[in-house]
Amino acid sequence: MKGFLSGLSNIFKAYLDLLKALPNIITKLLWFLAGLWLAIRRGFRRPPRDGCCLKLPNVHVRPDPMIYDQYYLMAQGLAVTWDNPDIQIYDLLGNPVSPYGLGPDQDYKVVARVWNNSYSAPAANMPVVLSYLSFGIGITDTFVAATAVDLGVKASAQCPAFANFTWHTPKIPGHYCLQATLIWPDDANPYNNLGQKNTQVGTLASPALFSIPVHNVATIRRRFDLELDMYQLPVLPSCSDHQASPREQGRYAESQARWRAALAKQAYGMFPVTADWKVSISPPALELAPGQTAIVDLSIEPSSGTFVGTQLFNVHGFASSSDGRDRILAGGVTLAVQGS
């Protein structure tokens, strides 16, 4: 009888322990059912048998290699110069030379300065292609050479990078326009990759005279309109005068603020030819058949009759269909008028 009572007491204690543990068991059961429901909703995924099963976020960053690109900048509404600050020409001794007046059948060093607008993605071994155009607007280009640069992220020691070329000028004397093209297949912005350096110098002999070939490379008849302005690259402020950027709002806000500031001071149309100069374009507009070339003559002289120094004039050629629609920038040249 005593054994029976002892066994009954043990059963009763176990029952009491079960009642005490029941809330914890129910809680664990609810958590198990919740996890099972999430697993069913997401789908059962078996982790790989080899390697790490850690899941990394799917973040894809792209570099944005860029150069002073007149076509892109003007598409944003900015005035431009065709004397590209990112393309420089030197003789073999390292002395800078003008693209106008280069000797025929000679070697020159050409350096293209390349930038990256991305803070997070470099562009290793990026190809850079150098070519040249015969002087004018809408002229086809000729390949010179290709090289590659290692471009670091924005604000790093590898940005900007410099592409170095040796250019052997053609045997036929004349003026040639240089172009540097950046090639990157996964570019965040592929529209700022073509820089052009196209200048011509004329000496005032009352007046200074220029002749510019205009060529229609399209397969349709097009109208070409020429416009002049006196835009020049602004002088950069010193670091002490530089205002803090709105970095606390993010890099996108900073970029937008810089574009707005540039448009407020350097928009296309803000730099017309002043009354101090007399400019004549003949003809100011023309229509060309596919593959046709015509010569436009420009005459520039000071209104006062005398001038000392150098004054720059930018000529922009805009092409459109014969009915005036689909107007695009076809090319341009910067003219330097020198007086004594």
Q: 205 falls in which pLDDT band (50, 70, 90)?
A: low
Spell out the domains of the chain, with CATH numbers in brackets.
61-197 (2.60.40.10), 198-230+274-340 (2.60.40.2310)
Residue-by-residue DSSP string for 255-284: HHHHHHHHHHHHBTTSSPPPTTEEEEEESS
Contacts of 68 (CB under 8 A, 6+ apart): 84, 85, 86, 87, 195
Angle, CA 291 vertex, CA 319 and CA 146 arms, to 5°: 85
**pLDDT surpassing 80 at residue 117:** yes
> Given a cut of 70, is residue 242 above it in pLDDT?
no
Closest alpha carbon to 251 in 67, 118, 152: 118
Residues 137, 212 contacting (CB under 8 angstroms): yes
Residue 53: pLDDT band (50, 70, 90) is low
Return the higher-pLDDT residue of 301 and 35. 301
Contact 110, 165 (CB under 8 A): yes
pLDDT beyond 80 at 66: yes
Nearest one of 148, 138, 184 to 320, comparing CA atoms: 138
Residue 212 confidence (pLDDT): 87
Res 323: pLDDT? 72
| CA pair distance 77, 57, nearest whole angstrom | 38
Q: In angstroms, rounded to a whole number, what is the distance separating the alpha carbons of residues 196 and 230? A: 18
The answer, as to whether pTM is greater than 0.85, is: no
Question: DSSP strand E in the chain: where?
Answer: 65-66, 87-90, 107-116, 123-134, 141-151, 161-168, 176-182, 194-197, 199-203, 208-215, 222-229, 277-282, 285-288, 293-302, 309-321, 328-339
Q: Could you give the CA distance from residue 74 to residue 134 in angstroms, rounded to a whole number?
A: 22
With cut-offs at 50, 70 and 90, classify the pLDDT of residue 171: confident
Q: Are 213 and 137 in contact (CB under 8 A)?
A: yes
Q: Which residues contact 94 (CB under 8 A, 6 or more apart)?
A: 109
Lowest mean pLDDT among 250-254, 258-262, 290-294: 250-254
Of 56-60, 64-68, 269-273, give the lowest mean pLDDT range.
56-60
Highest average pLDDT, of 27-31, 190-194, 236-240, 308-312, comes from 190-194
